[in-house]
Amino acid sequence: MLHLDTGNTGFMILCSSLVMLMTPGLAFFYGGLVGRKNVLAIMIQSFVSMGWTTVIWYLYGYSLCFSGDWHGVIGNFHYALLRGINLSTPSPNDTIPAFVFIAYQMMFAIITPALISGAFTNRVTFKAYMLFLTGWLTFVYFPFVHMVWGGGFLQQWGVKDFAGGIVVHNIAGIAALASVIYVGKRRVADRGPHSIPLVALGTGLLWFGWYGFNAGSEMRVDSVTATAFLNTDVAASFAAIAWLMVAWLNEKKPKFLGLLTGAVAGLATITPAAGFVSPTTAVIIGIVAGVVCYYAVEMKNRLHWDDALDVWGVHGVGGFLGIVMLGIFANKQFNPEGANGLIYGDPVFLLKQVTAVTFSSVWAFVFTYAMLRIIDAFTPVKVSESHEEIGLDESLHGEHAYEQLTERDVIHDLVNSTRQ
């Protein structure tokens, strides 16, 4: 039965709006990192998820995540088309209407597959991406939402993931790695990042929205909500500075792009632990995230994986790291409904966390790689070399992010500036 709390409900509507803002933020973040010829092609992959994922979520996604149970792995179609849900239907937190919970979880579903798109930028056809978006949500994202948050076997086993270390970042990052290996390298070198200010704008929107992402995952307003909010900012800040310092030592200059990337790494890594650990632990998680994710990206570069926007190094490694560090540092003093980690006397909890995130990594990799092979049998996944050369904005979408100057325009401008 619904016991409506207007404070909790208003807060969760606000958090849903914040998480929604993260997807345009991601589009700006990714858009700034690519070259001028591919800005719209990468941005539309985020924005189209806002539309198409909502359609899928309404049709059957929410139902597969949060109704029924098939062997602890996936739900059923009881709530397909939101059938039977009305004004008095409660959410898992009975002070919030189900409609608010549906909206909040939908925003998570929208951004998660969009994260993957940064790995195969400049290389994938839009038709293949739409098929990938549909299949990946159905066979990777929805099962893990159910397994971890919807009453599935990982939740029943005692695995903890406050806001999406497994459910969002790990599986998206590992899927990105599988995509890079399947699709292969870009044939045409990209000159990106073409606009670091655009990356900064995207980072700001992501960081701002992440407060709703993490603090909102408590599903109510209490002291745990406040802890998750503070931990989110602390981890992001320490990770940003850690990445900046490590990069400064190695590259001899303090790079703005490194500061921004480090902040996102810290946000991804604290996500599973935000409501289960102390602010001091958030400091440790942030520092470790900044250093480890930096070297993960360096390793990726040495191995010549063409993960264009470092989705694996930031989200895949960050999500994995956050789940493992939660297994070490979880503390019931900061959330009685959480767990105690290794240093607080429960090594079994750490074992469960490591097992769960290893399982999610294998599942995400295998299903993603297989899905791309199947899609490729019906429609080409990788764009042609000529389309890469032209740029995907023009070749796939017939649009341009910026005014295209011809040689005559350039000469005309030079002549006018000389006369002045």
Three-state DSSP state, 46:
helix
Does 202 reside within a domain? yes
> In the chain, how many domains are there?
1
The enclosing domain of 376 has a CATH number of: 1.10.3430.10
Does 418 reside within a domain? no
Q: Which residue segment(s) compose the domain that 253 sits in?
A: 6-397
**Nearest of 266, 255, 56 to residue 165 by alpha carbon:** 266
Does 412 reside within a domain? no
Instruction: Tell me if the pTM is above 0.85.
Output: yes
End-to-end CA distance of the chain: 75
Task: Report the C-alpha gap between 261 and 269 in whole angstroms.
Answer: 12
What are the φ/ψ torsions at residue 277 (nearest 5 degrees)? -130, 170
Does 410 reside within a domain? no
Mind listing the pLDDT tens digit of every residue in the chain (420 residues)? 899 999 999 999 999 999 999 999 999 999 999 999 999 999 999 999 999 999 999 999 999 999 999 999 999 999 999 999 999 999 999 999 999 999 999 999 999 999 999 999 999 999 999 999 999 999 999 999 999 999 999 999 999 999 999 999 999 999 999 999 999 999 888 877 999 999 999 999 999 999 999 999 999 999 999 999 999 999 999 999 999 999 999 999 999 999 999 999 999 999 999 999 999 999 999 999 999 999 999 999 999 999 998 999 999 999 999 999 999 999 999 999 999 999 999 999 999 999 999 999 999 999 999 999 999 999 999 999 999 899 999 999 999 998 875 555 545 555 555 655
Task: Give the tokens for residue 389.
Answer: 């050369």
Task: Report the C-alpha gap between 104 and 400 in whole angstroms.
Answer: 33
Does 231 reside within a domain? yes
| Helices and strands in the chain, H and E counts | 18, 0
Does 406 reside within a domain? no
